[in-house]
Chains A and B, each alone.
Chain A
Amino acid sequence: MKPAPFAYRDPDSVDEVLALLAEHGDDAKLLAGGQSLGPMLNMRVVSPEFIVDLNRVKALSRRGTSADGGFAIGALVRQAELEDDPAFAVAQPLAAAALPWIAHRPIRNRGTVAGSLVHADPAAEWGGIILALDARLAIRRAGAPPREVEAENFFTGILETAVEAEDLLAEIRLPPWPDGARWGFREFARRRGDFALAGVACRFEVDGAGRCRSVRIGLVGVGDTAVRARLAESVLEGEPPGAELFAAAAAAVGKEVEPLDDGHASAAYRRHLAEVVVADALAEAWEQDGRDEG
């Protein structure tokens, strides 16, 4: 339970980080909050030759309103910083409501949003959040122009993302909150703070004719990666919201998800939970008045 030896680098600029990644690539691991990497190092699930610690790169700690009115979260922004930021709760109510569900406060004090996303545990809350919010992920690499990946293209497999060995996930970009959008967040875990057996972040708008629009349902814990519940979204899109419609959407979720059997829960149980959390989150969203600020 002690890490294998590694060489430690703690650069203080993004350029230096990218240069180290270009040089060492697969032999290096980036260290942000270390709340996923630390345990993997201790258990020697990974034993990289180099650890590149981001914690001295001040530019990566930025958070706040971006030029387009959205909210930008730098690679070093800790979960607890967002949890304690009243401006974040106003700008991004769905993500703010999900934050207390992420592990425990001492983990959130250190753990970062970017680190959680790049680790890509399929049950991690942020996977569902970025899918529900149509977030964009800003990725940097030495010698290449900065690129943006859409949330729906971010997760590529179990514990795998569009961020490759030479890449730095520099910023998470949450688009401006749509006026009047309604949202819900639900998850079920056996113990407080555990990874969810199933969880959901959802958002939709209701148009002038009283129909659901721009429906997004991001599921976690029910497959190899966080996934959009596209069948359920299509059940809701363009229809007037209500209990019957939500029940139909939840049933669609049960049909489309492909959960895994594992030591924590059977696939059938996870599928059942996915239906329950989706029905509850949609009802939660519908009970809101819809917000105008953003």
Chain B
Amino acid sequence: MNELREVAVTVNGTVYDERVEPRLTLADFLRHSLGLTGTHVGCEHGVCGCCTVRLDGAAVRSCILFAVQVDGHRIETVEGLADGESLHPLQEAFSDHGALQCGFCTPGFLMTAIEFLERNPEPDEDAVRDALSGSLCRCTGYQSIVAAVLDAASRLRQGA
């Protein structure tokens, strides 16, 4: 039962080769095996959205995927957003609008929003609220997050 499986996965452009137990979730793999603790684990059953990462471009819940399933695939986490010391325009917008307080949910919001903005570069507020509806924040009341995503959309359109 405790067989180990080889997983070769590209995370934020770096190739990792690890041996894992099949029951290891992708979230725990990122945090514990790779030390990428930017991905947060909240509810552990796919409801809160904190653990959202991108799998081959698609925003997915890493707490209900297994590490063995991403063998040969490409993962992006919040650690891959900034370019060195310079924040991604979406991160800058979150900072400018106070779109985070405790910050626990923020990585999931960022990874969800960035995928959404790629599909919908010119969203209205309703579309943003719908896109973010699968992510829970207990601090902000969402107003500032929605404002940040709308602002980020306009910054990204201007090539900021």
Q: A residues near B, CB below 8 A?
A: 1-8, 10, 34-35, 38-39, 41-43, 49, 51, 53, 55, 80, 100, 103-107, 109-110, 191-193
Q: What chain B residues lie within 8 Å of A5 (beta carbons)? A: 1-2, 21-23
Q: What chain B residues lie within 8 Å of A107 (beta carbons)? A: 46, 61, 134
In the docked arrangement, what's the CA distance between A41 and B3, Å?
18
- Asked if A104 contacts B25 (CB within 8 A), the reply is no
- Asked if A110 contacts B60 (CB within 8 A), the reply is yes
- Asked if A42 contacts B44 (CB within 8 A), the reply is yes
- Asked if B64 contacts A34 (CB within 8 A), the reply is yes
The answer to whether A105 and B116 touch (CB under 8 A), given A7-B3, A8-B22, A39-B64, is yes
**Count of residues in B whose CB is under 8 Å from the partner chain:** 34
Digitize B44-64: 1 where CB-to-A-CB distance is under 8 Å, 0 elsewhere. Answer: 111101001001001111011
- Asked if B131 contacts A1 (CB within 8 A), the reply is no
CB of B133 within 8 A of chain A?
A: yes
Q: What chain A residues lie within 8 Å of B101 (beta carbons)? A: none
- 24 A-B interface contacts by CB (under 8 A): A1-B45, A3-B25, A4-B23, A6-B23, A34-B64, A34-B65, A35-B61, A38-B63, A38-B64, A39-B47, A39-B64, A42-B64, A53-B69, A100-B130, A105-B115, A106-B52, A106-B61, A107-B46, A107-B134, A109-B58, A109-B59, A110-B60, A192-B130, A193-B133
- Dominant SS among interface residues on chain B: mixed
In the docked arrangement, what's the CA distance between A6 and B68, Å?
12
Which 3 residue pairs spanning A and B have beta carbons closest together?
Answer: A104-B134, A38-B64, A8-B22
- Asked if A105 contacts B69 (CB within 8 A), the reply is no
- Asked if B44 contacts A106 (CB within 8 A), the reply is no
- Asked if B23 contacts A3 (CB within 8 A), the reply is yes
CB distance from A187 to the nearest CB of B (A): 14
- Beta-carbon nearest neighbor of B59 in chain A: A106
Digitize B127-140: 1 where CB-to-A-CB distance is under 8 Å, 0 elsewhere. Answer: 00111011000000
The answer to whether A38 and B69 touch (CB under 8 A), given A5-B23, A103-B134, A109-B60, is no
Q: Which of B47, B49, B61, B116 has the most CB of A within 10 A?
A: B61
- Asked if B65 contacts A38 (CB within 8 A), the reply is yes
In the docked arrangement, what's the CA distance between A90 and B106, Å?
37
Pick the contact of A42: B2, B5, B63 (CB < 8 A). B63
Pick the contact of B66: A1, A8, A192, A193 (CB < 8 A). A8
Q: What chain A residues lie within 8 Å of B60 (beta carbons)? A: 106, 109-110
* Interface members, chain B 125-153 (any A CB < 8 Å): 129-131, 133-134
CB of B112 within 8 A of chain A?
A: yes
- Asked if A55 contacts B46 (CB within 8 A), the reply is no
Q: What chain B residues lie within 8 Å of A10 (beta carbons)? A: 68-69
Pick the contact of B61: A4, A55, A110, A191 (CB < 8 A). A110
CB distance from A114 to the nearest CB of B (A): 17
- Asked if B134 contacts A193 (CB within 8 A), the reply is yes
In the docked arrangement, what's the CA distance between A250 and B14, Å?
58
- Asked if A35 contacts B46 (CB within 8 A), the reply is yes
Q: What chain B residues lie within 8 Å of A55 (beta carbons)? A: 69
- Beta-carbon nearest neighbor of B72 in chain A: A56
CB distance from A4 to the nearest CB of B (A): 7
- Asked if A8 contacts B64 (CB within 8 A), the reply is no
Q: What chain B residues lie within 8 Å of A41 (beta carbons)? A: 23
- Beta-carbon nearest neighbor of B49 in chain A: A106
CB distance from A186 to the nearest CB of B (A): 17
In the docked arrangement, what's the CA distance between A105 and B118, Å?
13
- Asked if A8 contacts B61 (CB within 8 A), the reply is no
- Asked if A7 contacts B1 (CB within 8 A), the reply is yes
